[in-house]
Amino acid sequence: MRVLIVDDERNIRLSLQKYLILEHIDAESVENGEGAIAYLAQEPFDAVIVDLKLPSMSGQAVLEWIQAQGIPVPVIMISAHGQIPDAVQALQAGAKDYLVKPFDPAELVIKLRALVETQNAEKAPWKSALIGAAPVMERLSGQIDKLAATNVTVLLTGESGTGKEVAAREIHRRSAQANEPFVAVNIGGIHEGLIESELFGHEKGAFTGALTRKPGLFELAGKGCLFLDEIGEMPLPIQVKLLRVLQERKIRRLGGLKDIPLTARIVSATNRDLEAMVREGRFREDLYYRINVFRIELPPLRERREDIPLLADHLLKDLASRLGRPKPKLSPDAMEKLCAYAYPGNIRELENLLERALIYGDGRNIRGEDLGFPDPPSVEKQERPAFVERPCLAAQETVALGYLEELEREAIRAALVRCQGNRTKAAQELGISRKTILNKIRTYGLSS
């Protein structure tokens, strides 16, 4: 995503640019409307953030110029004044949203991503993100179609790497609220002391360090969808508060005095056995029944092996595009090995295997030896591996443990590089908890 920021206040402009870059959003900034027009006339952008009050040429004039030129870019108007007539006029002129300074940059990022996803969906013909033609995937698609027509609470279960967030996004995309925000949060990636503030928000002065009001993720989801990944990691005190929210369909910010209606659909996901956690007293039974109104089990990749060629082709296309390389061809022996492997890490592990092969291969072809694992026995002789939380540790006896440890080490190292050393984000990308990735970083000597 590439965003243009237009604001005459240097500190705001540069701070916002740095924040977006940390969120892996390519951002450029200019100080006036004339500079914005010069940029937009020559370079493509996915979104524009423009201040309403600019010297010489106003943000309103920039918006009108964009409309007159027919440039298909969504515009978010920002202003320090917050006058209702200004907001109405900007929205009537074609702005997609209006934010009053000071605003929460996290809220802006969510709005940006929702706008760009909507824009891209309108440009391209609709295509399901669920890759696969196996009978189990056809049933899954049918379930999602039925769910999308309702606002029912959904629980997605399955092993790590099976695509639970993809399924959650697909439920949202097929719903009548597809143009509303999709907000995803990994509960296991948030420090326990911050979860309540992140979910419910807080008022200024609610606690030490609360210098401004902050809307929570329930609010930011609006009429869209809030995806609670790794809900099994939620502490018991927060489970009590979440249960109350689901029962009353209301939220209250920390330090707040009034209730705010909850309008978003709640989709939860876990790779844990919640029923066992309920029996052990680690997960509330009443909350379990609240989130488990409709349950979908995501199948492991070993149970839909006929989809591996389709998935490999899709992933290779995406990986090659990200790395700026031509898409390589998979040799017959490489495809045979891919289809025979058990994938304890499921689709995420398949992606890691292909990424390594793409990097270490000759760039034109991927051979069996480029994948790095020994010839496995036939599918019929492979035993179903026991389910574990960490994707690359459940090796079968027929696969060398040393290879799997190296594969896991490389996957963690690559995730840390992609996330610029941010361990929480790397854990979220890998589908593991922050505690797990910290232990693995120490084990594999990746702290540097």
Query: What confidence score (pLDDT) does residue 403 get?
Result: 43
| pLDDT band, residue 83 (cuts 50/70/90) | low
Question: Is residue 138 pLDDT above 70, yes or no?
Answer: yes
pLDDT digits (tens, 9 = 90+) for 1-59: 899 999 998 888 899 999 999 888 899 999 999 999 999 988 889 999 999 889 889 99
- Using alpha carbons, select from 379, 410, 384 the residue that is nearest to residue 396: 384
Highest mean pLDDT among 70-74, 76-80, 251-255, 358-362 belongs to: 251-255
Q: Is the pTM of this model over 0.75?
A: no
| Cβ–Cβ under 8 Å, residues 414 and 396 | no
Q: What is the 3-state secondary structure (H, E, C) of the chain?
A: CEEEEECCCHHHHHHHHHHHHHCCCEEEEECCHHHHHHHHHHCCCCEEEEECCCCCCCHHHHHHHHHHHCCCCCEEEEECCCCHHHHHHHHHHCCCEEEECCCCHHHHHHHHHHHHHHHHHHHCCCCCCCCCCCHHHHHHHHHHHHHHCCCCCEEEECCCCCCHHHHHHHHHHCCCCCCCCEEEEEHHHCCHHHHHHHHHEECCCCCCCCCCCEECHHHHCCCCEEEEECHHHCCHHHHHHHHHHHHHCEECCECCCCCEECCCEEEEEECCCHHHHHHCCCCCHHHHHHHCCEEEECCCHHHCHHHHHHHHHHHHHHHHHHHCCCCCEECHHHHHHHHHCCCCCHHHHHHHHHHHHHHHCCCCEECHHHHCCCCCCCHHHCCCCCCCCCCCCCCCCCCCHHHHHHHHHHHHHHHHHHCCCCHHHHHHHHCCCHHHHHHHHHHHCCCC
Least confident of 42-51, 63-72, 75-84, 158-167: 75-84
| pLDDT band, residue 390 (cuts 50/70/90) | very low
pLDDT digits (tens, 9 = 90+) for 404-440: 566 677 778 777 877 778 888 877 777 677 778 887 8
pLDDT digits (tens, 9 = 90+) for 205-256: 888 877 778 888 998 888 899 999 999 999 999 999 999 999 999 999 999 9
Q: What is the CA radius of gyration of the chain?
A: 24
Q: What is the mean pLDDT of residues 86-93?
A: 73
Question: Is residue 125 pLDDT above 50, yes or no?
Answer: no
Q: Which domains does the chain have, with CATH numbers?
A: 2-103 (3.40.50.2300), 135-297 (3.40.50.300), 303-399 (1.10.8.60), 401-448 (1.10.10.60)
Q: What is the mean pLDDT of residues 326-343?
A: 90
Query: What confidence score (pLDDT) does residue 385 get?
Result: 39
| pLDDT band, residue 128 (cuts 50/70/90) | low
Kindly state the percentage of the chain with pLDDT values over 90: 40
Token duo for residue 426: 């790397």
Token duo for residue 447: 């702290």
- Count other C-beta atoms under 10 Å from residue 376's C-beta: 17
Q: In whole angstroms, what is the distance from residue 339 CA to residue 307 CA?
A: 9
Question: Is residue 301 pLDDT above 90, yes or no?
Answer: yes
| pLDDT band, residue 160 (cuts 50/70/90) | very high
Q: What is the mean pLDDT of residues 174-194?
A: 87
Per the prediction, the chain carries an average pLDDT of 84
Token duo for residue 134: 């196996």
Question: Is residue 178 pLDDT above 50, yes or no?
Answer: yes
CA dihedral 360, 363, 366, 367 (to 10 degrees): -70
205 vs 286, residue with greater confidence: 286
| pLDDT band, residue 365 (cuts 50/70/90) | confident
Least confident of 17-31, 204-218, 263-277, 385-399: 385-399
Q: Which residues pair with 5 in a beta bridge?
A: 29, 49
